[in-house]
Amino acid sequence: MDCPVCESPMKEVERYGVDIDICPECKGVWLDRGEIENIAAVELQPVWTIGVIKETFLEKLEKYI
Ligand SMILES: [Zn+2]
């Protein structure tokens, strides 16, 4: 899959049992809705918004990029 923003080939990594597409060029992280819900369940942080989950993910995923 190519990045919807910069059209670079994306890198797929597995985290918490779900596949996440990461763009090495613009650091975009792409999840579908089902994946976000799976991650939220694993993290056990019910008050998190999707935006906060995404920010935390960017931090955690930096070492994979
Ligand atoms: Zn990109």
25 CA to centre of ligand 1 in angstroms? 5
For 2, which DSSP code? B
Angle, vertex CA 32, rays to CA 28 and CA 38, nearest 5: 110
Nearest to 39 by CA among 54, 24, 27: 54
12 CA to centre of ligand 1 in angstroms? 13
- Examine the pLDDT at 59 and tell me if it is beyond 80: no
Rounded Cα–Cα distance for residues 3 and 24 (Å): 9
The reply to whether the predicted model has a pTM over 0.85 is: no
Tens-place pLDDT, residues 8-43: 999 988 876 777 888 889 888 877 667 666 766 665
**Average pLDDT value over all residues in the chain:** 72
How far are the Cα atoms of 21, 29, 37, 50 from residue 58, in angstroms, in the given order? 12, 7, 17, 12
The two tokens of residue 16 are 């918490």
